[in-house]
């Protein structure tokens, strides 16, 4: 069986390496590019960091998307804005493979002209992976990865095949499950990413310097969550609960707990050290740090577009999009001061 990962960055490289390690009989290919891809091509392996320690996994690699030809499964893990280009480059080589999206945002439409709906599986992962250096990926946070049908399809048959494949990976803390309301799951995660992306504007640690910081949490964090939920309600999107800790309702409960003086101290005492040692790394932060285009239009921008479709406004998410684009025009690794972010959102919510 051949399994290919198209656009193997952090998540694609990690899942590919784990799958190859635990299922060596599989033909696993990573289609790579950039400095990360160059490092993999030179060593012929992916170096992984996680609860298992450090492990280097020999892997087949290519710079040519057409080399996915003959695959039974093609995992698409490129940035959301690169989906259409990646699918066009792979072209007919995709064949009859089951195509699996593990990407940020809601981009089902990008697949419409390339993959039949019954062969398309949409995924969402609560794990957090990071490219620590070219050729090396780290599991910053474990969690579940859920799969289900694209918009307009109800069958989870293809998703169950994907879960059966990935369940060959045996790492404590990693779980793979099918879900019938994957759209509701994805919007749950999108909201968390919308929060995380706002924290990236000031290069703030999402937990210790954003959510744990009362002014940011009250002015920025609460405003984003409330606006997202208002927009989803207006367009009839039913948020589905994500198993485990990376769930919007759990995050909201944490934000409420942090408002209580005694619980605030207890929670921060229990979690601060963990997230200082192993911070959640958002792709938007890495892109801004490297001077690359970001996925903000597929996260906060998606909320703005949903609002427009319902004839309402999403000013807070629109401002996050605008501020991100401002940083994209600056030199790499340029960020706002945290207070500047708070002040700009405060002006919107006070009016």
Q: Is the dihedral of CA 216, 79, 76, 139 positive or negative?
A: negative
CATH level 2 (architecture), domain 184-350: Orthogonal Bundle (1.10)
Q: Is residue 203 over pLDDT 80? A: yes
pLDDT one-digit tens code per residue, 54-112: 999 999 999 999 999 999 999 999 999 999 999 999 999 999 999 999 999 999 999 99
d(CA 245, CA 193): 14
Strand pairing report for 27-31 and 2-6: parallel
Instruction: State how far the alpha carbon of 110 is from the alpha carbons of 30, 76, 155, 294, 302, in Å.
Output: 21, 12, 20, 17, 14
Q: DSSP labels for 28-58? A: EEEE--HHHHHHHHHHTEEEEEETTEEEEEE
- In the chain, which residues fall in CATH 1.10.1040.10? 184-350
pLDDT one-digit tens code per residue, 162-199: 999 999 999 999 999 999 999 999 999 999 999 999 99
The average confidence (pLDDT) of the chain is: 96
Give 266's pLDDT tier (boundaries 50, 70, 90). confident
CB 63 within 8 A of CB 41: yes
CB 68 within 8 A of CB 90: yes
- In the chain, which residues fall in CATH 3.40.50.720? 2-180
- What stretches of 239-298 show up as alpha helix (H) in DSSP? 248-257, 261-277, 283-290
Q: For 2-180, which CATH class? A: alpha beta
CB 240 within 8 A of CB 181: yes
- Which residues, 6+ apart, have CB-to-CB distance to 97 below 8 Å? 4, 68, 71, 72, 73, 74, 119
Q: What percent of the chain has pLDDT over 90?
A: 92
Q: Is the pTM of this model over 0.85?
A: yes
As a whole number, mean pLDDT of residues 308-327 equals 98
């Amino acid at each position: 069986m051949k399994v290919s990962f198209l656009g193997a960055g952090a998540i694609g490289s990690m899942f590919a390496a784990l799958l190859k390690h635990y299922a060596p009989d599989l033909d696993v290919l990573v289609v790579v590019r950039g400095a990360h891809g160059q490092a993999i091509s030179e060593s012929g392996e992916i170096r992984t960091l996680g609860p298992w320690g450090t492990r280097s996994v020999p892997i087949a690699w290519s710079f040519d998307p057409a080399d996915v030809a003959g695959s039974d499964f093609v995992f698409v893990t490129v940035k959301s804005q690169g989906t259409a280009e990646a699918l066009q480059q792979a072209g007919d080589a995709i064949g009859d493979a089951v195509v699996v999206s593990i990407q940020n945002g809601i981009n089902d439409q990008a697949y419409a002209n390339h993959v039949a709906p019954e062969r398309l599986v949409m995924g969402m992962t609560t794990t957090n992976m990071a490219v620590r250096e070219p050729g090396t990926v780290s599991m910053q946070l474990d969690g579940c990865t859920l799969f289900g049908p694209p918009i307009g399809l109800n069958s989870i048959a293809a998703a169950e095949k994907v879960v059966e494949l990935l369940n060959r990976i045996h790492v404590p803390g990693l779980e793979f499950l099918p879900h019938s309301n994957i759209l509701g799951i994805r919007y749950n995660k999108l909201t968390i990413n919308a929060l995380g992306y706002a924290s990236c504007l000031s290069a703030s640690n999402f937990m210790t310097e954003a959510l744990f910081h009362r002014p940011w949490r009250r002015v920025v964090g609460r405003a984003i969550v409330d606006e997202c939920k208002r927009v989803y309600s207006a367009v009839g999107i039913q948020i589905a609960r994500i198993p485990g800790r990376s769930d919007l309702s759990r995050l909201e409960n944490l934000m409420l707990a942090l408002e209580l003086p005694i619980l605030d101290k207890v929670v921060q005492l229990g979690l601060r050290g963990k997230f200082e040692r192993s911070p959640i790394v958002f792709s938007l932060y890495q892109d801004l740090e490297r001077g690359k285009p970001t996925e903000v239009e597929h996260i906060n921008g998606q909320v703005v577009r949903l609002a427009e479709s319902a004839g309402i406004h999403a000013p807070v998410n629109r401002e996050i999009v605008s501020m991100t684009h401002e940083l994209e025009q600056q030199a790499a690794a340029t960020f706002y001061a945290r207070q500047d972010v708070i002040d700009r959102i405060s002006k919107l919510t006070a009016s």
